[in-house]
Amino acid sequence: MFGLILRRLMASIPTLLAVVFLSFFLMRFAPGSPFDGERPLDPETRLALDAAYGLNQPIIVQFGRYITGLAHGDFGPSLVYRDFTVTDLIWTGLPVSLLIGALALLLAMAGGIAIGLAATLRPNGPLDRSLMLCMTLLTALPTFVTGPILALVFALWLGWLPVAGWGDGAPVYLVLPVLALTLPTMGAVAKLTRAGLAQIMTQDHIRAAQGRGISGWRLIARHALRPALLPVISYAGPAAAGLLTGAVVIETIFALPGLGRYFVQGALNRDYPLVMGVVTLYAALIVLFNLIADVLYGWLDPRVRG
Amino acid sequence: MTAVLDYRNVTVAIEGRKVVQNLNLAIAPSECVALVGESGSGKSQSWMAPFGLSPGVAGGEAYLCGEPVIGADAASLSALRARHAGFVFQQPLTSLSPHLNIAAHLTEAFCQAGAALPDQDTLIAALVDVGIDRPAERLRQFPHRLSGGQRQRVMIAMALAHRPALLIADEPTTALDATLRREVMDLLNRLCRDRGMAMLLISHDLASVASIADRIIIMRQGDMIETGPSDQILSQPTSDYGRELLAATPRLTDPIPVRPVIGAALLAAQDIAVSFPMPGWRRPHLQAVADASLMVHEGEAVAIVGGSGSGKSTLARAIARLGPCDAGEVTWRGLPLPPRAKMQAHDRAGFQPVFQDPVASLDPRWRVADIIAEPAHHLGRGASRQFVLSIMAECGLDANLADRRPHELSGGQAQRVAIARALITDPAMLILDEATSALDVLVAGRILDLLRRLQRERRLAMLMITHDLAVARQLCHRVIVMDQGRIIEQGDTEMLIRAPHTDISRALIAASQ
Amino acid sequence: MSRVLNALPAMLVLLILAAAWLLPPFLPWDYRIIDWDHVSSPALTPGHLLGTDSVGRDLLSRTLIGTRITTMVAIAAASVSLLIGTLWGALAGWCGGRIDNVMMRIVDALYALPFMFVVILLMVVFGRSILLVFIGIGAVEWLTMARVVRGQMLALRQRPFILAAEAAGASPRFIIFRHALPNMAAVILAYLLLTVPQVVMVESFLSFLGLGVQEPMTSLGILVKEGADDMDVFPMALLVPGGVLVTLVISLTLLGERLRDRWAA
């Protein structure tokens, strides 16, 4: 198990380096500069600014310095939010993004698995069919459509919940963003659970267990559920990544002070260190999620443990 | 004394189609009854449907230890199964839950009839009873660590744990290695006799159950064709079907067949070695074949026999340049064969393979005539329709099959198409990779007849991979026995059968008797 | 009844496509022209069947043109993903061994990228153009196709008929193009159909963030964004393009899933 984790971590280093490399050079080859404001700067100020942030050095040197900083946990200064380092900005935005992301992931997993189980009770019955149709609808609904529509119905028309905003993390402000983020992933999890169970229930070891007089919930819980959840677990890593990306939209729609908003703003303003910092962080998070999914997979399936 | 299992006019239907009709049987305590039939005979459905283990709908009356099985609701049927019956299935590899260890499986089996939790010693004793080594260690292991034979032993231990009145074993040895079949069958027999348990044995192989079963029932397409005591059915079956079935199963006791004369050297393989990388941290290599040398002459048939994992198929594929080959040289009519990646169509024309699964070895999207003509197409000469039809006729295929697709063919027809494809280049040698072992007994018998005729008429050499010595004996001059990647014994077929030198050979002979 | 229900997704897709591509020339108001007399007017205003947006442009026209752009981008990007994904996956699956390992490591590494962010970067860096939008999206979506095709190829390689073709003297190219690819065509088509709604979502997502196509061109994502901005006064502007987008995506998903279940089994 430790070997597996270690190998995974080693294998993720090239991926992370590739992300840093790609985003670094993409940003630098782009036209425009972080200091293009409302009016053009005079050339001297411009040169001074470039020198202050090291932008006048050869690009390879800049990249090397960035990597060195990164290795020490230093993401560099923000070029647009002048008095902040990227690390400061990440620490303000990350808790918000992580909170809604984690809540959505938990809800999607719990809800999806429960719905998948309920649908399996009577395969191809009316409950199964209608639930699965609903789940397909959910997976097909983009968050940027469900988000505004949820806000329209529950905030504007019914007035039960606030339209947008953070409200210092008060629970009522979280309901709509988390719900909009949860629904598509929940649909996918439910469908995977249902498909996994349907496939496992036809297998020999299930029939053998039935021969031993095990049936109903005990059969599913003891013999079917764990192998049936394997595809769900494989999906959980990419799903977590998808939730992080989806959070960008949700944060825009519901005006939440998360990382996604900093990212979009940073990209538009050419705030190189900020954009790079967010991309690198997210890549690292995705690697971490996939690692957790692998470990869970090993727990569910002894064959992987070897 | 009441019967343990009592069937009265049992019928089974799947989606409205009758697959078992009016089956009557009664199994007395400590009696063993075998249900024998080909695939599609309804032999498995005849127990699965009444016991509620398949979607089939059962009719008629069936009693397990005096209690009705058909018509019982799911809960009481489930309890009835758990109390009085134990099951052993064909597929030991998939019949254990992959995420539960052996101890969990056995505990569940012990408790299924309401007994208290067994202690460690009881579990160990159960494993010892079925001949599993290092039982204490095995208890903590998960199924994937056990070999197929060990898993089937665990299944047997589980089926017997709660001391059921009836054991149902559905093809318990079919998926096992040839060298293990006899052993597992004897184990089942011994345990049932010792415990006075009744057994219902399901099999496609009449001869393999004959020594164990007290009575045999032969089924065909859902009907009971013949029933009677084993020795009577084996010595003088009353139905035509029973006689056919018996005749189609090759046995080592059959008279020695006439084999064609042998010519000059055709194929020689020298010091073949093949290894596969194994998954894992340091990537060790599995030596699948080592230092294997063999020779085939014109018109000569040579069998490579061995258990699964002995490397017999790997060796044949390495020689035929259809699989990896790390070392060694192969010469064809005195000239060296190029490595696999460099083989041209004309290099391959002289020897053609026929594989185990006939339908799967034909491209599902191609028509029969195109499939048969493909090798000629790659040689650049093509084959006229007339020529294809004549080869088809030689292989016993009707001309109207020429435009069919593989899924419209029966297994026997598909294998004939594969043989016809192999013959289109007029090869000097066929490589038969378990070519009859996936087929039903009667069909396999006819394919063997066809191969024998081709061997005679075309003076075809053959390299035959099989686990069944009796099948090999039908065609082959010589036999090569392999174990763990090495050739451990070879010689004239009759000599080897009469005086084997190794335990593996003796086990293979026992399995074919 | 159930036959009608089964045919519904395909009918809806055809209906939306036909309307988007055939109807606009016959509408009284072009999608770019501002009707100063009717700004934010409700549905059934004379000349504007579905009303107008907050600057007075015909909502029906804009929705249809937006659908046209969105479907165009989707089809182009799905084709890009089909081409790259099939070739990459077929090659990796066919070669196997070390080459397969390296090729799939690359796919895994790309999967681990926060790809949406890279696409956003691309848009920001190289400016917004339709071409870039679909190249960027196609470059993301080919990964799944490559995995599917590789899996199919690996499974097919184990099938004896591929080995039989090799024994018959067929060249690797003949085997790949005449035996292997035709046998997975159905699966590829099903995944292609499933890719299209994915692409529609990504394109709309980018447009929603203001990184897709530019004014006065429009797409469903832009329309949803505009609609969301003034949904409190004029919900139609959100519900109409949102409804079309959702219908399109759901219908395509249902179609693709049905084909996948039927053929991939």
Which CATH number does the domain housing residue C224 bear? 1.10.3720.10
Within a domain: residue C104? yes
CB B3 within 8 A of CB B63: yes
Give the model's pLDDT for residue A260: 80
Distance CA A247, CA A177 (A): 9
Give the structural domain span for A170.
90-264
Task: Write down the residue that tokens 């065609």 correspond to.
Answer: B475
Task: Write down the residue that tokens 């990350």 correspond to.
Answer: A94
Give the DSSP letter string of A24-80: HHHHHTSSS-TT--SSPPPHHHHHHHHHHTTTTS-HHHHHHHHHHHHHTT---B-SS
Give the model's pLDDT for residue B431: 95
In b/e form, how buried is each residue of A76-95, taking b as 16+ CB within 10 angstroms?
bbbbbbeeebbeebbeebbe
| Residue B346 near chain C (CB below 8 Å) | yes
> Stretch B243-264: mean pLDDT, rounded?
82
Structure tokens at B309: 């994992």
Give the model's pLDDT for residue B231: 87
* Of A209, A215, A301, Cβ closest to residue B98: A301
- Residue B36's DSSP bridge partners are B203, B218
Which residues on chain B are in Cβ contact (under 8 Å) with A215? 74-75, 78
Distance CA B413, CA C243 (A): 55
CB C165 within 8 A of CB C63: no
Which whole-number Å values give the CA distances from B112 to A217, A222, B80, B82, B318, in the listed order?
16, 14, 10, 6, 49
Within a domain: residue C210? yes
Within a domain: residue A25? no
Q: Is the model's pLDDT at B102 over the cut of 80?
A: yes
Give the DSSP letter string of C50-82: T-B-TTSBBHHHHHHHHHHHHHHHHHHHHHHHH
Beta strand segments in B65-208, E:
67-68, 85-88, 166-170, 198-203
A225-239, A248-262, B369-383 — most confident range: B369-383
Within a domain: residue A149? yes
CB B499 within 8 A of CB B170: no
Distance CA C164, CA A233 (A): 38
* Of B343, B363, B379, Cβ closest to residue C161: B363
Within a domain: residue C129? yes
| Residues contacting residue A217 through CB under 8 Å, at least 6 positions apart | none
Give the model's pLDDT for residue B258: 79
Which whole-number Å values give the CA distances from A304 to A230, A298, A301, in the listed order?
11, 5, 6
| Residue A75 near chain C (CB below 8 Å) | no
Distance CA B249, CA A254 (A): 76
Give the DSSP letter string of C196-261: HHHHHHHHHHHHHTT-SS-TTS--HHHHHHHHHHTTTT-THHHHHHHHHHHHHHHHHHHHHHHHHH
* Whole-complex ipTM: 0.79
Structure tokens at B85: 């019956």
SS3 B166: strand
Position with higher pLDDT, C117 vs B97: B97
- The region of weakest confidence among A2-11, B5-14, C118-127 is C118-127
Give the model's pLDDT for residue B374: 94
SS3 B61: strand
Q: Is the model's pLDDT at B281 over the cut of 60?
A: no
- The region of weakest confidence among A279-288, B83-92, B162-171, B309-318 is A279-288
CB B201 within 8 A of CB B187: no
Rounded to the nearest 5 percent, the helix, strand and coil shares of chain A are 80, 0, 20
Q: How many domains does chain A have?
A: 1
Handedness of CA B102, B104, B110, B113 (dihedral sign): negative
Q: Is the model's pLDDT at A110 over the cut of 90?
A: yes
- The region of weakest confidence among A32-46, B427-441, C59-73 is A32-46
Which residues on chain C are in Cβ contact (under 8 Å) with A275? 121
Model's pTM, two decimal places? Answer: 0.76
Structure tokens at C185: 């065509």
> Stretch B274-286: mean pLDDT, rounded?
69
Confidence of residue A36 (pLDDT cuts 50, 70, 90): low
> Stretch B145-152: mean pLDDT, rounded?
86
Q: Is B367 exposed, middle or buried (0-12, 13-18, 19+ CB in 10 A)?
A: middle
> Stretch B242-250: mean pLDDT, rounded?
83
Give the model's pLDDT for residue C49: 65
Q: Determine the distance in angstroms separating the CA of C102 from the nearest CA of chain B, rounded to an integer.
A: 16
φ, ψ for residue B278, nearest 5 deg: -100, 150
Q: How many domains does chain C have?
A: 1
Q: Which of C148, C253, C257, C132 is nearest to C200 (CA)?
A: C253
> Stretch A107-111: mean pLDDT, rounded?
93
Give the model's pLDDT for residue C128: 62
Query: Quick check: B95 and A223 CB within 8 A?
Result: no
CATH number of A236's domain: 1.10.3720.10
* Of B98, B108, B279, Cβ closest to residue A212: B108
Q: Is the model's pLDDT at B178 over the cut of 90?
A: no
| Residue B95 near chain A (CB below 8 Å) | yes
Give the model's pLDDT for residue B320: 92
Low-confidence ranges of chain C (pLDDT < 70): 1-2, 28-29, 31-33, 35-56, 112-118, 123-130, 133-134, 215-216, 263-265
Confidence of residue B167 (pLDDT cuts 50, 70, 90): very high
Query: Quick check: A204 and B95 CB within 8 A?
Result: yes
| Residue B86 near chain A (CB below 8 Å) | yes
Position with higher pLDDT, B410 vs C231: B410
| Residue B348 near chain C (CB below 8 Å) | yes
Within a domain: residue C2? no
Within a domain: residue C125? yes
| Residue A278 near chain C (CB below 8 Å) | yes
pLDDT tens column, B222-236: 898 899 998 888 888
Question: Cα B221–B224–B226 angle (5° rounding)?
Answer: 120
C positions 169-198 inside 8 Å of A (CB):
197
Position with higher pLDDT, B284 vs B420: B420
Give the structural domain span for C136.
69-263
| Residue B79 near chain A (CB below 8 Å) | yes
What residue in A sits closest to B97 (Cα-Cα)?
A205
Give the model's pLDDT for residue B146: 86
Give the model's pLDDT for residue B279: 58
What residue in A sits closest to C227 (Cα-Cα)?
A148
What residue in B sits closest to C183 (Cα-Cα)?
B365
Of all residues in chain A, the percent with pLDDT exceeding 90 is 6
Query: Quick check: B81 and A215 CB within 8 A?
Result: no
Q: Is the model's pLDDT at B283 over the cut of 90?
A: no
Of all residues in chain B, the percent with pLDDT exceeding 90 is 38
Within a domain: residue A40? no
Distance CA A140, CA A142 (A): 6
> Stretch B255-281: mean pLDDT, rounded?
82
Handedness of CA B390, B391, B392, B393 (dihedral sign): positive
Give the model's pLDDT for residue A75: 76
Handedness of CA A51, A56, A59, A60 (dihedral sign): negative
Q: Determine the distance in angstroms separating the CA of B169 from the nearest CA of chain A, rounded to an integer.
A: 12
Query: Quick check: B82 and A203 CB within 8 A?
Result: no
pLDDT tens column, B314-372: 999 999 999 889 889 999 999 999 999 889 988 999 999 999 888 889 999 899 999 99
Mutation target vs A (from C1, C70, C119, C124; most A CBs, 10 A cutoff): C124
What residue in B sits closest to C161 (Cα-Cα)?
B361
Position with higher pLDDT, B22 vs B283: B22
CB C89 within 8 A of CB C150: yes
Within a domain: residue C234? yes
| Residue B112 near chain A (CB below 8 Å) | yes
